[in-house]
């Protein structure tokens, strides 16, 4: 159950950050320089598919091993 909740939360955060980044940071810059090459509306399907795969890989290689070793997902880096 933990991994499912982690997947949904991570997926939502990545989509939200991508939306904000593309809408308010990248789009104005691209409109200024390459406006004829931009689409009228974004393609949600490819973004959804990419982030579904990306988040699954992220959880598989990073979060799941941390959970298996009983580590917290909020790592604290300490120097010796």
pTM (predicted TM-score)? 0.65
Q: Nearest-5° angle of CA 36, CA 23, CA 45?
A: 85
For residue 28, the model assigns a pLDDT of 85
| Residue 28 CB burial class (10 angstroms; 0-12, 13-18, ≥19) | exposed
Summarised one tens digit per residue, pLDDT across range 13-67 is 888 888 888 888 888 888 888 888 888 877 888 888 998 999 999 888 887 777 7
For residue 67, the model assigns a pLDDT of 72
For residue 55, the model assigns a pLDDT of 92
For residue 14, the model assigns a pLDDT of 87
For residue 78, the model assigns a pLDDT of 53
For residue 74, the model assigns a pLDDT of 61
For residue 31, the model assigns a pLDDT of 84
């Amino acid at each position: 159950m933990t991994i499912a909740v982690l997947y949904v939360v991570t997926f939502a955060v990545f989509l939200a950050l991508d939306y904000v980044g593309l809408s308010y940071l990248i789009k104005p810059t691209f409109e200024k320089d390459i406006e004829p090459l931009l689409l009228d509306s974004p393609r949600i399907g490819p973004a959804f598919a990419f982030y579904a795969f990306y988040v699954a890989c992220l959880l598989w290689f990073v979060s799941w091993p941390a959970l298996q070793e009983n580590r917290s997902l909020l790592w604290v880096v300490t120097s010796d």
